Amino acid sequence: MPGSIPLAGSADHASALEENAYRKAVWRIVPLLIVCFIFAYFDRVNISFAKLQMQGDLGLSNAAYGFGASIFFVGYFIFEIPSNLILSRVGARVWIARIMISWGIASAAMMFVKSETWFYVLRFVIGATEAGFLPGIILYFTYWFPAKRRARINALFMTSISISGVIGGPLSGFIMTRFAGALGLAGWQWLFLLEGLPTALLGLLVLEILDDRIGHAKWLNAEEKAVLQANIDREDKGTSHKFADAMRQPGTLLLSLIYLFMLMGLYGLTFWMPQLIKNTGITSPMSIGLLTAIPYAAAGIGMVALGKSSDRSGERRWHLGLAVAVGGIGYALSAYFAHDTTLAMISLVIASVGAIGCLPVFWTLPPAFLSGTAAAGGIALINSIGNLGGIISPYLVGKVVDITGATSGGLYAIAAVLILAALLILFGLPARIANRDRAL
């Protein structure tokens, strides 16, 4: 058939055009946002390392430290939804840059903390200025990438959590050890300064490189823009667009509860891993930093593998639920083997692969039934409620440590919460949310 050759050639051309356009988009957008999120997560990691020195300098109890670490999420919770709604109106480029500049300055200002009160105040301000960053980027990805690619994109982006853990631990230990006493400043003061200011500078780079929408990208030609935009437009059909719709959706509230439980597991690791390792008998900040890199590296590998597998199969429920359950098992094991360095590290690896590796697959779910303003508000609501886990988890573990002198009770509680989250995912998540990607 003479007509079949042009059709085959046309199909091959369209496929090559689409792949090339997405390759350009990934390389233009994702690496910069990975670096941005690495520095965002440095702020989560460095407070746990600063504790090793600043707690004694400021005279903070474990409960006071846990409360200070947690109050970050109060500011985050209050300003999360307004921040994402503003982003959807003014554009991602300007708003993400604003977030990074203001929170980088606030984070660096932690070096000036002299009292428990100012510790609380600045942690609240950092949470308020950072609010909207993660949900803003998750929303931004929905402007560029269709559902069938989104778990892989989310996984690539969220490897920044693992990278920041791998780099942040040793870097924090190095700064606190080598800079201690320089210019009359403590090691923890240098830590906040040297990890805060680069964040503000990255905000200026975001202004220069990011484009708000596909149509604004000068680095794509007209044909490439048309292909990418058509894929996004096709997916918007059948999803809720209004903010009020997101608030009324049972799926939004269920995902918020699941994410709350998931982040209780994540932040238990983030804030207390250095202390858990120290409890096994390791005392050097540098050694603790190097050991924290191991679970984060394993989590990064698991994250990419899980995202790729989930996108390839189009299956979300079991990929997510089993990963969360693995995180719960890892927590229980880390409590049981709390005083054996080798077994505790293996347990922390298991906990990290589950509790961190599950995140990219989770964030494919909200855009399955929300888009437009509904996605902006719904994603922010889910993230803000979920981040209340950052209030509950560190304070819970800190309180248990103060009362019992051991972390095992708090770790078992967090393990139970993760198992509950896994059960909600596996048996409570509606099929229209978990399976929508298969129909696209």
Taking the CA atoms of 89, 94, 97 and 101 in sequence, report the sign of the dihedral they define: negative
Q: For 3, which DSSP code? A: T
**pLDDT of 394:** 72
Percentage of the chain exceeding pLDDT 70: 89
The average pLDDT across 106-127 equals 90
Task: Please give the pLDDT value at position 237.
Answer: 58
For residue 67, what are its two tokens? 């409360």
In tens, the pLDDT along 284-325 reads 777 887 888 888 889 889 988 998 888 888 888 899 999 999
Q: Is pLDDT at 282 greater than 90 in this prediction?
A: no
In a domain, 185, yes or no: yes
Report d(CA 132, CA 136) in Å as an integer: 5
Domain assignment present for 82 = yes
Residue 240: DSSP 8-state: B
Structure confidence at residue 1 (pLDDT): 44
Measure the CA–CA gap between 77 and 347, rounded to whole angstroms.
31
The token pair at 244 is: 């009020």
Residues in the chain: 440
Of 1-10, 123-132, 193-202, 215-224, the poorest mean pLDDT is in 1-10
Which tokens belong to 428?
A: 């409570």
**Both tokens of residue 302?**
């698991």
Check residue 371 and give its pLDDT.
64
User: What is the identity of the amino acid at 284?
Assistant: S
Instruction: List pLDDT tens digits, range 155-191.
Output: 888 888 788 877 877 788 888 888 888 888 888 899 8
3-state helix/strand/coil string of 282-337: CCCHHHHHHHHHHHHHHHHHHHHHHHHHHHHHCCCHHHHHHHHHHHHHHHHHHHHC
pLDDT at 205: 93
10 Å CB burial of residue 107 (0-12, 13-18, 19+) is buried
Is the pLDDT at 439 greater than 50, yes or no? no
Dist. CA 43–CA 165, nearest whole Å: 11
Task: Report the C-alpha gap between 271 and 277 in whole angstroms.
Answer: 12
SS3 370: strand
- Does residue 354 register a pLDDT over 90? yes
**Residue 391, pLDDT score:** 76
96-106 pLDDT, tens per residue?
999 999 989 99
Residue 241, pLDDT score: 53
Residue 148 CA, distance from chain mean position: 20
CATH number at residue 225: 1.20.1250.20
Query: Residue 204: is its pLDDT beyond 70?
Result: yes
Please list, in sequence order, all residues whose beta carbon lies within 8 angstroms of the beta carbon of residue 440, skipping any fewer than 6 positions away: 146, 147, 148, 234, 235
Question: What average pLDDT does this structure show over 354-381?
Answer: 80
Give dist(CA 68, CA 23) in Å, integer. 42
Instruction: Name residue 197's beta-bridge partners.
Output: none
Q: Please indicate, yes or no, if residue 56 is contained in any of the structural domains.
A: yes
Q: CA–CA separation, 118 vs 49, rounded Å?
A: 18
Count of domains observed in the chain: 1
Least confident of 31-35, 56-60, 199-203, 307-311: 56-60
Say if 397 falls within a structural domain.
yes
In whole angstroms, what is the distance from residue 53 CA to residue 439 CA? 53
pLDDT at 6 over 50: no
pLDDT for the residue 435: 62
Structural domain for 224, as ranges: 21-439
Could you count the other beta carbons within 10 Å of the beta carbon of residue 345?
A: 20
pLDDT band at 433 (very low <50, low <70, confident <90, very high): low
pLDDT surpassing 70 at residue 385: yes
Phi, psi (degrees; rounded to nearest 5) at 338:
-60, -25
Cα separation of the two ends of the chain = 31
9: in domain: no
Helix and strand totals (H; E) in the chain: 19, 0
Most confident stretch, 152-156, 401-405, 407-411 = 152-156
* pLDDT tens figures, 121-146: 999 999 899 888 988 898 898 888 88
Q: Is 94 part of any domain?
A: yes
Residue 15 forms part of a structural domain: no
* 7-50 pLDDT, tens digit each: 445 666 677 888 888 899 899 999 999 999 888 777 766 777 78
State how far the Cα of 388 lies from the Cα of 212, in Å rounded to an integer: 29
Higher-confidence residue of 409 and 109: namely: 109
pLDDT at 285: 73
Can you name the residues that pair with 312 across neighbouring β-strands? none
The CA distances from residue 63 to 74, 219, 276, 394, in Å, are 16, 51, 16, 9
> Domain for residue 234, yes or no?
yes
Spatial neighbors of 120 by CB under 8 A, at least 6 apart, are: 67, 68, 71
For the stretch 229-273, pLDDT in tens is 988 887 655 554 555 555 667 778 899 999 999 998 888 777 778
Q: CA separation (Å) from 2 to 6, 7, 10?
A: 8, 10, 14
What pLDDT does residue 343 have? 92
- Specify the pLDDT at position 158: 83
For the chain, give the mean pLDDT.
Answer: 83
